[in-house]
Structure 1
């Protein structure tokens, strides 16, 4: 996305001078007025407003070695760039913190937890990243390990035609605005920052964070983020410049790039978790190939579990891409004024939707305006539509919003979902109308966990694949499971001898069990699975034989060690997984554990790990500070405790 520098940088919104009180009428008048007021000679070019021939070659030239991040010390690897001195991992649910530290010790790795998620950034000695990944990527107690790759914004050459707001009536935004303009919804823009002084954005900006410099300065260092923000939510009907899709929505700038506009998987993951922990429900990421990162997918699922949706650009390579297809994000392709896929828009099975991406009139750094195009803008246009939908029905569950977005899209290309347009070109009016008249909501009168007004009554199916019944186990034991559902599984729990030792909320569901937390002899394992509608199922019990070395102590006066792994101090929202680890100089099997929230016992058990699920959505859980306490007691009666203060966001 590069601005056409020959364009006059100011273009007032004539609709504000019209007296008709209907926004739809004013904006429709504006679109006609814009063409009639001197742009008629350019109108015939609109239907072919795609980049010139060989444009994709010029776009790819932007990503030459001359434009790589100077401070990246990056290395070419399979056509990608990765950051030196760090990798990303996700341990299996239930893996004790000390066990994770031991796994990383041989690589001199030091883990840093990303917010309230289960993702970790691991700092390593530089130039050891590839060797560490080769060992860790297939480790039986890690879900994944990946390099922290750099990725470019989805840029295209400058548009040769004069800009106009054709895309807004194309997706029926004016009709949607009669119902919703996005008020009360915040859109997180994960990008190069946003020009917070721009006249068309300034009053919509809320506090964000700079994950590159680790400070609160979110000014735009590259120019891309301001253009993306304007496409999503530039102020509508204010006598200035342009209109965004969701003109009354708030914008949260999250800077995840360096000065050259390149982002990293770690920056994107941190940004998504940070926004989700603050209750943000819409996020936009306009970078190339975002779905290919396991870390980014996990962070997007974390936001989805918190009630949000993540929209990403489909890419501008002009060819079929094998980026990972996922339900954690909404990848968007670009269309032109005739509802044709642009020649430079990437395609493949990962594409979920399409939206206008040619000649998009948007805000630019330095209080300017200009013509931009690329899937970088198809994506925030879609994010803006989601904001309209969420504002039209604030109680509707995010997955219901997503389904309505897909079902109301204008089907293009092959009937049904296809690799070029996904479910079709987004239709703001139809999508907003569909949710505004719906009665589906996020909570029922009983306020039960994950309760939904839904017709889904089919329970999941779940079974333990390993260990096998009758197996002898010791130390850390990988527990592999198979869990399926007709709609979606949102949580699985591993129970050992009637104690919940671990909870996993992201697929592929898998556990690590510290068998030292169980006494030698028979142990009974079972897994519980929960779907989005609250239906539950429990696997057949698997009986194993625990055989760990034991050490007898003459006198035990040392209290057990205990720590709260999750949550960490900070903001939480929605469903919170509380995870506790304990150890003792005697046997961990003799430890009694208990978890309290604000002094009230929530769960108790025995062993080295304990985990529970706390739903903060019901009305009796107030917004503000809450204290989580974990207490451990060994066989000799020695006790210890740990506390964490967290802030519930409603």
Structure 2
């Protein structure tokens, strides 16, 4: 997967807000914020003594506010407005491996009016006017496995509604690395993503999740306005890996890469986690991060006719596609940014909505026992990618095809 080896230098907000093309470490923010003011990320070379690192901070007018475990990156306070100057100063020191802005990533979705609809993505009979069988064959997959409560899918997002009837019993852990004061979802994005991944199923309520018996880790890394810092996201990735998550879902991103987030991704991958991220909603072939990194499954979005969604990013760097248009899932039952209070369920579109279907399939594959089961994340990834359906656009819009849950778990597929 050496397709993901270069740095893309423009930063365009994932929600489609236009900004000027800039170097990610040498820019002054314009329009919506692109980085956390007064903070930078500094990593010292292995073997650098603590007192030497402390001296370097003092020499450069920085103060360590936090340490990201596992990858040992210092979240460093500097005077607001002097971020770029301090980065340049740190980079001149031979003991510094890298220094960068503490950038922001955003939730990736294309909002639609909430409405009740069928979950065509699991079993498409043409009920929404689409092409029959343009789906991920989830019903057939569930005949083989519905998942396992020992398999946790970490949702790195805006939080999950703590009281939702289709989710509350599934939340096995809550942790907050965002600027919000609560683990609850006050934005509305994370709750929808969580439902697609693993909503309670067969309970005569609402919707079904792709991995019905998997549990959820609510790892809040995006604030109540839908944005989150690179340091918070890296902390969330590391926490999920250290606490036994088998899958990490990131329906978030931006068009600038972060060495800190990439280090966290590699840390999680090396601990055996499958990592899935949204390809972005700009409708271009430009990479979105963290989806672009080698150890991440990048997910594009398709519609109910198995066609690429008009908004979806695409290209050889995208691994697979999954349904992401007019996706029905859970919505917070309280005040939030996206949904009308009390709606509980609704449809929205985006590569954010496609991504948890792939995360759910990863959960199903992890849950297999006996013949055909996987003991490594590379095996799980291969089963997902190698068993994807070769729909139109495969080889151009995405590398492997549209995911097929049934084939991935070796079920009796029609």
Q: Do the structures match in fold with TM over 0.5?
A: yes
The yes-or-no answer on 1:103 pairing with 2:56 is yes
1:384 and 1:139, CA in 2 relative to 1: closer, same or farther beyond 3 A?
A: farther
Aligned match of 2:366 = 390
Structure 2 counterpart of 1:114, from 68, 71, 74: 68
Matched, 1:280 2:259: no
- Give 1:290 shift: 7.2
User: Is 1:373 aligned with 2:349?
Assistant: yes
1:123-138 counterparts in 2 under 5 A?
123-137=77-91
Structure with greater proportional strand content: 1
CA shift for structure 1 position 294: 1.6
Q: Contact 1:200–1:240 at 8 Å: present in 2 too?
A: yes
1:137 offset after TM fit, Å? 4.3
In the other structure, the counterpart of 1:154 is: 108
Counting only pairs closer than 5 Å after superposition, residues 463-502 of structure 1 correspond to structure 2 as none
Q: CA deviation at 1:404?
A: 1.6
Alignment of 1:218-229 (within 5 A): 218-229=183-194
Using the TM superposition, give the Cα deviation of residue 295 of structure 1 relative to its aligned residue in structure 2, in angstroms: 1.4
Report the equivalent of 2:164. Answer: 198
Q: Aligned residue pairs: how many?
A: 365
Partners of 1:372 and 1:414 lie apart in 2 by 23
Question: CA 1:167–1:213 in structure 2 vs 1: closer, same or farther (change >3 Å)?
Answer: same
Give me the whole-angstrom Cα distance separating, in 1, the residues matched to 2:32 and 2:391.
Answer: 32
Question: Matches of residues 25-424 of structure 1 in structure 2 within 5 Å?
Answer: 76=29, 81-111=34-64, 112-137=66-91, 139-158=93-112, 163-169=117-123, 170-183=135-148, 184-213=150-179, 217-289=182-254, 292-323=257-288, 325-366=292-333, 368-393=344-369, 396-413=375-392, 418=395, 420-424=397-401
CA offsets, 1:600-636, max 9 Å, x none?
xxxxxxxxxxxxxxxxxxxxxxxxxxxxxxxxxxxxx
Q: How far apart, CA to CA, are the structure 1 residues paired with 2:382 and 2:49?
A: 38
Deviations 1:502-548 (A, max 9, x none): xxxxxxxxxxxxxxxxxxxxxxxxxxxxxxxxxxxxxxxxxxxxxxx
The answer (yes or no) to whether the contact 1:138–1:144 under 8 Å persists in 2 is no
Q: Contact 2:192 / 2:329 at 8 angstroms: preserved in 1?
A: yes
Match of 1:555 in 2: none
Partner residue of 2:402? 425
Structure with greater contact order relative to length (CA < 8 Å, sep ≥ 6) = 2
Q: Distance in 2 between matches of 1:314 and 1:110?
A: 35
Determine if contact 1:407/1:423 at 8 Å carries over to the other structure: yes
Query: What TM-score, normalized by structure 1, do the two folds share?
Result: 0.53
In structure 2, the partner of 1:41 is none
Query: Aligned partners of 2:218 and 2:100: how far apart in 1?
Result: 26
Query: Which string of whole-angstrom CA distances, capped at 9 and with x for unpartnered residues, describes residues 301-354 of structure 1?
Result: 111111101111111111121446422211110011121111110123431111
Give matches, 1:614-625, under 5 Å: none
For 1:119 and 1:234, the matched residues in 2 are separated by 35
Q: Aligned partners of 2:30, 2:145: CA distance in 1, in Å?
A: 46
Q: 1:289 to 1:423 in 2, by over 3 A?
A: farther
TM-score by length of 2: 0.81
Q: Is the contact made by 1:290 and 1:312 (CA closer than 8 Å) also made in structure 2?
A: no
- Across the aligned residues of Structure 1 and Structure 2, the Cα RMSD in angstroms comes to 2.7
Q: CA deviation at 1:64?
A: 5.8
Rg larger in structure: 1
Alpha-carbon shift at residue 161 of structure 1 (Å): 8.0
Counterpart CA distance in 2 for 1:433 and 1:118 is: 40
- Show structure 2 runs of 5+ residues with no match: 1-12, 19-26, 124-134, 334-342
Judge conservation of contact 1:279–1:306 (CA < 8 Å) in 2. Answer: no
What's the CA shift for 1:229?
Answer: 0.4
Whole-Å separation in 1 of the counterparts to 2:16 and 2:407: 38
| C-alpha distance after superposition, 1:237-265 (max 9, x if no partner) | 11000001011111111111222111111
Q: Give me the whole-angstrom Cα distance separating, in 2, the residues matched to 1:361 and 1:126.
A: 42
CA contact (8 A) 1:297 1:329 kept: no
Task: Detail structure 1 runs of 4+ shifted over 4 Å in the superposition.
Answer: 60-65, 77-80, 159-162
Contact in 2 for aligned 1:188/1:282 (Cα 8 Å): yes
